[in-house]
Amino acid sequence: MTKQERVDFVINTLEKLYPEVPIPLKHKDPYTLLIAVLLSAQSTDARVNTITPILFKKADNPYDMVKLSVEEIKEIIKPVGLSPMKSKGIYGLSKILIEKHEGKVPKSFEDLEALPAVGHKTASVVMSQAFGVPAFPVDTHIHRLMYRWNLSSGKNVVQTEKDAKRLFPKKLWNKLHLQIIYYGREYSPARGWDIEKDIITKTIGRKSVLK
């Protein structure tokens, strides 16, 4: 297969498997999505989804969030891990949203990435899923699968994102990155991986991975 044929196979297979892709993190608006994505770093969506209802019952907007102390936030979010850093980030970004953005989540990569504890991946998720701006957030699943599918070198997530944006049509980015995540979890996990179930990698993958 040529690279373009591999790309087309990925797109077509994922569309058949996942014609609809709900956003994995529970949220009701850009702010709650931003907080949920921040909490998901080095954690699981499932775990985050058990904690956010507790947090959002107390504060689901920046004005209520800054009424809590960093310590109070930390106690609530402790089960998702990295709570000291994340609680400071949540409090700090909420304060900045009030002071600089009228309490609203900004709609630009530059402003989002200027917020505490918000990196490029988090900003990309918010831009794509909250505002519909084409972006291709790369998580561990996408990084792993782009390498397994011989569509990226696997050197780092920055290169993987560049390769994904170069290979896949822009109009598909926002849906496709979610489809790849769902596929990675179900058919091509890092552990307990069964190549026979992983139809995409089995068909187009690297020989070094298939051994």
Considering the chain, what is the average pLDDT of its residues? 96
How confident is the model over 197-203, as a mean pLDDT? Answer: 96
CATH code given to domain 30-129: 1.10.340.30
DSSP three-state, residue 42: coil
**For the chain, what is the radius of gyration of the CA atoms?**
18
* CA angle (108, 66, 113) in 5-degree steps: 20
Render pLDDT for 153-194 as a digit per residue (tens, 0 to 9).
Answer: 988 999 999 999 999 999 999 999 999 999 999 999 999 999
In sequence order, which residues have a C-beta less than 8 Å from that of residue 57 and are 6 or more positions away? none
Spatial separation of the C-alpha atoms in residues 73 and 69, rounded to whole Å:
6
For domain 3-21+136-210, is the CATH number 3.40.50.300? no
116 compared with 155, residue with greater pLDDT: 116
Q: How many CB atoms lie within 10 A of CB 206?
A: 14
Q: Which of 86, 121, 163, 198 is catalytic?
A: 121
Q: Is the pTM of this model over 0.85?
A: yes
Q: How confident is the model at residue 210 (pLDDT cuts 50, 70, 90)?
A: low
Render pLDDT for 4-14 as a digit per residue (tens, 0 to 9).
Answer: 999 999 999 99
Per the annotation, the verdict on 64 as an active-site residue is: no
Q: How confident is the model at residue 211 (pLDDT cuts 50, 70, 90)?
A: very low
Q: Where are the domains of the chain?
A: 3-21+136-210, 30-129
How confident is the model over 22-43, as a mean pLDDT? Answer: 97
Q: Which of 60, 139, 163, 198 is catalytic?
A: 139
DSSP three-state, residue 204: helix
Spatial separation of the C-alpha atoms in residues 139 and 144, rounded to whole Å:
9
In sequence order, which residues have a C-beta less than 8 Å from that of residue 129 and are 6 or more positions away? 23, 33, 174
Q: Which pLDDT score, from 0 to 100, does residue 209 have?
A: 62
DSSP three-state, residue 123: helix
How confident is the model over 59-74, as a mean pLDDT? Answer: 98
Share of the chain above pLDDT 90, in %: 95
Per the annotation, the verdict on 121 as an active-site residue is: yes
Spatial separation of the C-alpha atoms in residues 129 and 76, rounded to whole Å:
25
In sequence order, which residues have a C-beta less than 8 Å from that of residue 207 and are 6 or more positions away? none
Q: Which pLDDT score, from 0 to 100, does residue 73 have?
A: 98
Q: Do domains 3-21+136-210 and 30-129 have the same CATH topology?
A: no
